Chains A and B, each alone.
Chain A
């Protein structure tokens, strides 16, 4: 009985000490953290990636000479025309290219398709073409830059 009473006394003093711990600074800090996270939180954009093969500066001429087929060139389009040509045979729209790209992929998705982008062409046209090739399942895409 005596033991129990002293235990109860100790418990009571511990409770008193616990009650005396000031929680205010911790709550202050926690709220500061919360406000920081709430204000800086933003949902990120969902992004995609399109791998390309970029020939090294030394071997670009050799590779260009061997890869004459399946070449799509992207031009600048100041007049809003279709900026693509297929195997240097006149202007072609992206929707027309779609058939070609899918037929190439159906035959052999591992065959190399060469994109030649002129220096003044817009990046969005390259992205649109790469997007089409990814959709078709083409795996080997080489990108050359031409003047």
Chain B
């Protein structure tokens, strides 16, 4: 039987190497912009439109649910708050009004709810409005 002193220490270096490689992979592939969209929403497909490769920083992403609820990230916002967010974004960008607004809405949403969002944007002089469609759902 081997005594305690005969057991050789386990070499942890390869394991730590691999674990660090994995952490580096996850850190680099973490895309916080895409976390802004609720994956549970059933958005309409638009497979022939240009794909979003990279999100423009400082863009505004309102999510519109079929019942008219508007969300920014995971927070539900009312019209007043949404207007405040837009005004804040314009102020923070030094008065620029070319901030893109990307509307991420469920396919079954009545247009009147989208209209409310677009009206607020145009009232605040934001005219770069884009509608988001789904190219491919991740598995």
Residues from chain A with Cβ under 8 Å of B2 in the complex: none
Q: Is the interface of B mostly helix, strand, loop or mixed?
A: mixed
Q: Are B122 and A34 in contact (CB under 8 A)?
A: no
Q: Is the interface of A mostly helix, strand, loop or mixed?
A: mixed
Nearest CB to that of A136 among chain B residues?
B48
Residues from chain A with Cβ under 8 Å of B131 in the complex: 49-50, 52, 126-127, 130
Q: Please, how many angstroms separate the alpha-carbon atoms of A31 and B22 in the complex?
A: 10
Q: If A50-B131, A54-B129 touch, does A134 touch B48 (CB 8 Å cutoff)?
A: yes
B16 to A: closest C-beta gap in Å:
7
B38 to A: closest C-beta gap in Å:
11
- Which interface class (under 10, 10 to 19, 20 to 34, 35 or more) fits A? 35 or more
Q: Please, how many angstroms separate the alpha-carbon atoms of A41 and B106 in the complex?
A: 24
What residues of chain B have their CB less than 8 Å away from a CB belonging to chain A? Answer: 12, 16, 19-20, 22-23, 26-27, 29-31, 34, 37, 39, 43-52, 64, 102, 104-112, 114-115, 118-119, 121-123, 125, 127-139
> Which 4 residue pairs are nearest across A and B when measured between Cβ atoms?
A124-B107, A37-B26, A135-B48, A48-B49
